[in-house]
Structure 1
Amino acid sequence: MSKGLKTALIVIAVIAVILFPLIGSYNSMVNLEQAVNQSQSNIDTQLQRRSDLIPNLVSTVKGYAAQEKDIFTAVADARSRLAGAQTVQDRANADSQLSSSLSRLLALVENYPNLKSDQNFRDLSVSLEGTENRINIARQDYNNAVGAYNSTIRRFPNSIISGLFRFNEKPYYKASAGAQEVPKVDFTPTK
């Protein structure tokens, strides 16, 4: 074997030793970034499901409580804000407002016992409750995916690779300000 061929093989081996981990790290970051994007999409899907259920719930309740216009308006406004939200934080804020409005709507139901026994209302309430649970799970899955992604791109030597290929940290899904406060539920009949 000639000296030139040995040198070429050594250079190729050194390049391969350097290149293979680089490719593996890059592909790992791509997979984790896609998991974050998929998790964010799952949140959006569940928020859309809830948004689609709300008009049916509101229509059912309206039939029993026509004079409670301000609550219906608040639910509709919050739903519109959620539909127009662009960033993760905007979605979190709009979601919090919608949850608050829905709490007021469900508290209103307590003033109308016949409504609670209506099969349509019960079906919609169960669907809405299931959707709320799915949204919470989707948020947790998103934050888990963001945590794995952010940790990977910040670890050495991945931090060098992530800097070269512009893998940036993703924001966590955070509740809006005031979400930690317990919602006030008032069962006093309105006049």
Structure 2
Amino acid sequence: MLTYLLLGFVAVLIVTGVLIYNRLVSRSQMADNGWSDIDVQLKRRANLIPQLVTTVKSYAAHERDLFVEVTEKRAQAMAAGDDLASRGAAESALSQPVARLMAIAEDYPDMKASGNFLELQRELSDTEDKIEMARRFYNGAVRELNTSVQSFPANLVAGPLGFRQRAYFEVDMADRALPEIDMGGVS
């Protein structure tokens, strides 16, 4: 009888361990998927920026320093890789000159009316929205994974099997703020 109880206890431990492991794998995969979504959108934005620079250059050739800054910040963001802290800082730094680039359009009515510029502006805005959604999904998945990795009894399984906490992907919101545009008194 004691043997059956011991075997039953061992079976329960094994089943519990398998369930915990599978939950950790599932949450880790969700976090990987979330990061992949962010990466895709960041690359999409990086691919739109040269088109935007080229379009604005044709109207505002004297903004050379800004074009150089955007190009440099884009290269730094592309080179940051998957290190979340570096990537977040690089993307924040890129957002600043891109926002200034978009604000230049206010000084050039012909550019604001250009179909090419309007389409790029719409695509960039859509991409920014997708980045924000992907960031929220990723950070939610990371929160779930981190909670599982830290919770008992999952923490007994997580550490030895290589599951670790992950960092959130944060972009400084002050850097992402769009520039204020004077609409000439129109509310």
1:149-164 equivalent positions in 2, closer than 5 A: 149-164=145-160
Query: Is the 8 Å Cα contact of residues 150 and 170 (structure 1) preserved in structure 2?
Result: yes
What is the aligned partner in structure 1 of residue 51 from structure 2?
56
Q: Which amino acid aligns with 1:172?
A: Y
1:139 and 2:135 equivalent? yes
How far has the Cα of 1:48 moved from its partner? 0.1
- 1:42-94 Cα distance to aligned partner (Å, 9 max, x none): 11100000001111111111111111101111111111011000301111111
Q: 1:77 to 1:171 in 2, by over 3 A?
A: same
- Identity score, percent: 34
- Alignment equivalent of 1:106, drawn from 85, 91, 102: 102
* Aligned residue number for residue 3 of structure 1: none
Q: Which residue of 1 aligns with 2:80?
A: 85
CA contact (8 A) 1:104 1:185 kept: no
Larger radius of gyration: 1
Q: Which runs of 5+ in 2 are unaligned?
A: 183-187
* Alpha-carbon distance between aligned partners in 1 of 2:76 and 2:181, rounded to the nearest angstrom: 25
2-structure distance, mates of 1:132, 1:184: 14
User: Please, what TM-score do these two structures have when normalized by structure 2?
Assistant: 0.89
Give the corresponding residue for 1:33.
Answer: 28
Unaligned stretches of 5+ residues in structure 1: 1-5
Conserved? CA contact 2:37–2:134, under 8 Å: yes
Instruction: Give the equivalent residue in structure 2 for 1:75.
Output: 70
Question: Please, what TM-score do these two structures have when normalized by structure 1?
Answer: 0.87
Alignment of 1:117-128 (within 5 A): 117-128=113-124
